[in-house]
Chain A
Amino acid sequence: MSYFGDIIKGIKTLLTGMSVTGKYFITSRKGAITQQYPDNRETLKMFERFRGEVVMPHDENNEHRCTGCQKCEIACPNGTIEIIWDRQIDPESGKKKKMIDKHVYHLGMCTMCGLCIEACPTDAIVWAQNYENSVYDRSYLTKVLNQPGSKLKAGVEE
């Protein structure tokens, strides 16, 4: 007799399982969690703390805040950042000072750990929220973060 009891119990569990998926089937129009990706680029917003890519913001006078102190280069675990600097005569005080020539950032090697941004004393580099970083040629992944012709904003030294 437990033969028939087992069969009935088994069928009942199967039917309850089917009811769960059936419920999802019926509400599938609005329950679908698919994002139609290339069509919804305008409405797709990342969170503000999203770690996309490291950038150096420039204001409207093409000035940035990077003093070339190399703290980010030391903090980076795998050599993603290279600072090319030079000692030049500072026009204001007349002394020789370290100034940044190029801030090279290898996006291909970056692990997005965030240590460089935490280490920067002047908040020169921040996270950007772009998520489409694929390129056709690997050399495009080596980026120079400070734009040509830009200079250090006055008053950042403190």
Chain B
Amino acid sequence: MDTTIKNSNLKSEEYFINMGPQHPATHGVLRLLLTIDGEIIKKVEPDLGYIHRSIEKMCERDSYQQIVHLTDRMDYLSSHINNEAVCLTVEKALQLEIPERVKVIRTIIDELTRIASHCLWWGVMGMDVGALTTYFYGFRDREMINDIFEETCGARLTMNYNIPGGLMFDIHPNFVKRTKEFIAHFKTKLPEYDTLLTGNVIFQKRMKGVGVLTKEDAISFGASGPVGRGSGYSCDVRKYHTYSAYDKVTFNESLKTEGDSFARYQVRIQEMWESMSIIEQLIDNIPEGDVQVATNAVIKLPKGEFYQKVETARGELGVYINSTGTKNPYRVKFRSPGFSNLSLLNHIAVGGKIGDLVASMATLDLVIPDIDR
């Protein structure tokens, strides 16, 4: 979309604006250096590191049970899934056999976390494009999920419920009942969200054709999760590298091919429906059994490198542990989905307007602590 004035005597300059670290639209402390020409964006350069807390370095000092609680605070909206990623890596290295009950409960809580994260995403995205009421509707539904979690594991945001070897303690007796109530309630609310925002002509004009990402670009930038699936790149880790109880349930992978912001929006709404169907398939038949496998008090992984990927609400999270046989890991590295998704911001925002940048960033669903760790 080239709108530079050619062959004219008007001299216009580009100017440089800082969408600074504290900004309502950037979902965290992210600094964007924009070079704009009137209203058209010429270059976007993200500047990270404002919330770097050296989580990976702290993991080198802690034992394997202790590194789990640090991952809560990386991508705090899918904290349970982050914990599970580390626990699965350690369990894979120790070759532990996890009881069925643990797998099913982990999957149910994963999907509830995914719905909670998408609810918050929907609310905040509505607020970014200007519909200020959607924030409260999204949070109201997320509160019900937070109550479920609070009753079972005691915390609403940083759960720390998974440990290497299973769960810390058993689920509360009310868990199944509350989850079913939530599913019944949410099934009436999700069509309402569609009515309020999806069909709205103003919203569609803001989102359609904005921030287009082709499939080749998505693969080459390493986009994963709903961002990749909105461009037609089928990358669901739950299908291709199955873990926990995902091989027992049937669900469709939500794919769209247009690659614009509206496609990414629709993919996430579709994912919420799929998550609800997964929970419904599992909630009634949670197998009985233990919730923990006994491990040593001091866990020592065998020498080597271990990697496990999971699908968080943002995309593919990978945990790499390099162990030299001692009780602390030698190196832990997290491949965060947000980092790869942020790197394509320059590619999709150039040539658009500032309003388009805000809309594209809202659908990329970035959580900055995930990127900075």
Contacts and interface: CB of A to CB of B under 8 A. Distances in A.
Any A–B CB pair closer than 8 Å: yes
Nearest to B204: A13
Nearest to A129: B154
A14 B155 contact: no
A50 B150 contact: yes
Given A112-B158, A115-B65, A21 B168 contact: no
A94 interface: no
Contacts of B51: none
A112 B168 CA distance: 14
Given A21-B133, A77-B69, A16 B154 contact: no
A47 B65 CA distance: 25
Contacts of A9: 201
A49 B195 CA distance: 38
Interface string B141-160: 00100010011111100101
B196 A49 contact: no
For B69, B140, B154, B168, the residue with the greatest tally of chain A CB atoms inside 10 Å of its CB is B154
Contacts, number: 65
A111 interface: yes
A124 B360 CA distance: 52
Contacts of B199: 13, 16-17
A24 B168 CA distance: 40
A115 B69 contact: yes
B241 interface: no
B172 interface: yes
B197 interface: yes
A113 B66 CA distance: 9
A17 B200 CA distance: 7
Nearest to A118: B168
B154 A13 contact: no
Interface in A36-94: 46-47, 49-51, 75, 77
For A13, A49, A113, the residue with the greatest tally of chain B CB atoms inside 10 Å of its CB is A113
Nearest to A23: B192
Nearest to A7: B201
A20 interface: yes
A81 to B, nearest CB: 13
Interface in B212-240: none
A35 to B, nearest CB: 10
Contacts of B197: 17
A52 to B, nearest CB: 9
B69 A113 contact: yes
Contacts of B201: 9-10, 13-14
Given A21-B196, A33-B143, A114-B168, A49 B69 contact: no
A47 B150 contact: yes
A17 B154 contact: no
A38 to B, nearest CB: 20
Contacts of A113: 66, 68-69, 160
Contacts of A21: 133, 196
B196 A20 contact: yes
Contact of A114 (B151, B154, B192): B154
Contact of B154 (A24, A51, A115): A51
B196 A75 contact: no
A14 B200 contact: yes
Contacts of A112: 155, 158, 160
For A17, A111, A118, A127, the residue with the greatest tally of chain B CB atoms inside 10 Å of its CB is A17
Interface string B40-79: 0000000000000000000000100110111000000000
Nearest to A71: B297
Contacts of A14: 200-202
Contacts of A24: 133
Given A16-B195, A20-B196, A21-B196, A47 B151 contact: yes
B172 A13 contact: no
B168 A111 contact: no
A141 to B, nearest CB: 19
Contacts of B192: 20
A49 B62 CA distance: 26
Interface string B179-215: 0000000000000100111011110000000000000
A50 B152 CA distance: 9
Contacts of B69: 77, 111, 113, 115
Given A111-B69, A112-B158, A114-B168, A17 B150 contact: no
Interface of A: 9-10, 13-14, 16-17, 19-21, 24, 33, 46-47, 49-51, 75, 77, 111-115, 118, 127
Given A46-B150, A49-B153, A50-B154, 16 more contacts: A13-B200, A16-B199, A17-B196, A17-B197, A20-B192, A21-B133, A47-B150, A47-B151, A49-B151, A75-B65, A77-B66, A112-B155, A114-B168, A115-B66, A115-B69, A118-B168
Interface of B: 62, 65-66, 68-70, 133, 140, 143, 147, 150-155, 158, 160, 163, 168-169, 172, 192, 195-197, 199-202
